[in-house]
């Protein structure tokens, strides 16, 4: 059973469209990180959210941490082909140093 | 952020052999981790590499199969021993100050 479920698993959209990726759990996380991974490379950290209700923006990407710290979302505005990749959420529980990874969302943005 | 160099980037190995993967960081880090990732899938933690002591392994991973060394605060190795085709995967090194944060580019291993 995956502790962090991401949806959708796959997403294929046209350049210019908006999209939202969800990361859900029944457990509370002390912090949550979002990564993007491209083929042949390791995951690259996009953002870390630590406070319930927190919203962070990174250019066209908007990240939100749920009020109860059990879920998070990533919204991309006007997607570009360069946004193509595997998006992973990862959370830390309590005082554990371990990072629990979500199931991943594979995004394809068509020109 | 830390710059992580992982070697080799890829290898094709025969069943029954062993491969050692190196992870070098450009600055001292408190924690180093090893992950496994099936192509297109999420990441699974293999173990936490502890400097000066034995690595801490996750459920399903054992030291005899995945021996790990961490001689100092900037370097670690992971060995995949007595390989079988089921070990074909991407192996990733991760570093952080109190938890995993940054990742190397991974080693893509194919066992034939």
Reported as a single tens digit per residue, the pLDDT across A14-66 is 999 999 999 999 999 999 999 999 988 999 999 999 999 999 999 999 999 99
Across the interface, which of B41, B99, B103 has its CB nearest the CB of A42?
Answer: B103
- For chain B, the average pLDDT equals 93
A to B CB pairs, distance under 8 Å: 51
Share of residues in chain A with pLDDT > 90 (%): 87
Q: Which of A63-72, A93-102, B13-22 has the lowest mean pLDDT?
A: A93-102
Instruction: Tell me what the mean pLDDT of segment A60-81 comes to.
Output: 97
Q: Band of the pLDDT at A2, cuts 50, 70, 90? A: low
Å from B30 to nearest chain A CA?
A: 11
* pLDDT at residue A1, rounded to an integer: 54
Question: In 3D, which of A53, A83, A55, A56 has the Cα closest to residue A68?
Answer: A53
Instruction: Tell me what the mean pLDDT of segment B10-15 comes to.
Output: 97
Burial letters B79-96, b for 16+ CB under 10 A, else e:
ebbebeeebbbbbbbbbb
Across the interface, which of A42, A97, A103 has its CB nearest the CB of B98?
Answer: A97
Contact (Cβ atoms closer than 8 angstroms) between residue B73 and residue B51? yes
Query: Residue A22 burial (CB < 10 Å; 0-12/13-18/19+)?
Result: middle
Q: Which residues of B touch A42 (CB under 8 A)?
A: 4, 6, 92, 103-106
Between CA B48 and CA B5 the distance in angstroms is 18
Q: Report the residue of B100, B102, B108 to disrupt the A interface, i.e. the one with the largest count of A CBs within 10 Å.
A: B100
Contact A99 B45 (CB under 8 A): yes
Between CA A4 and CA A86 the distance in angstroms is 15
* pLDDT at residue A95, rounded to an integer: 77
Contact (Cβ atoms closer than 8 angstroms) between residue B43 and residue B36? yes
């Amino acid at each position: 059973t995956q502790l962090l479920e991401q949806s959708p698993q796959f997403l294929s959209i046209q350049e210019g469209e908006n999209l939202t990726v969800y990361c859900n759990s029944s457990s509370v996380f002390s912090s949550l990180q979002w990564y993007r991974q491209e083929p042949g490379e390791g995951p690259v950290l996009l953002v870390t959210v630590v406070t319930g209700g927190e919203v962070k923006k990174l250019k066209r990407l908007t990240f939100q941490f749920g009020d109860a710290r059990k879920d998070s979302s990533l919204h991309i505005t006007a997607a570009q082909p360069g946004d193509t990749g595997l998006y992973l959420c990862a959370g830390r529980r309590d005082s554990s140093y371990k990072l629990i990874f979500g199931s991943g969302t594979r995004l394809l943005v068509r020109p | 952020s830390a710059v992580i160099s992982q070697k080799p980037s890829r290898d094709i190995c025969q069943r029954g052999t062993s491969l050692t993967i190196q992870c070098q960081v450009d600055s001292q880090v408190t924690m180093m981790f090893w992950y496994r990732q099936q192509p297109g899938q999420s990441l699974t933690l293999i173990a936490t590499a502890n400097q000066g002591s034995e690595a801490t392994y996750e459920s399903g991973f054992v030291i005899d199969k995945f021996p790990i060394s961490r001689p100092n605060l900037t370097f670690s190795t992971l060995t995949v021993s007595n390989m079988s085709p089921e070990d074909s995967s991407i192996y990733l090194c991760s570093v952080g100050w109190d938890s995993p944060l940054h990742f190397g580019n991974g080693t893509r291993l194919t066992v034939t």
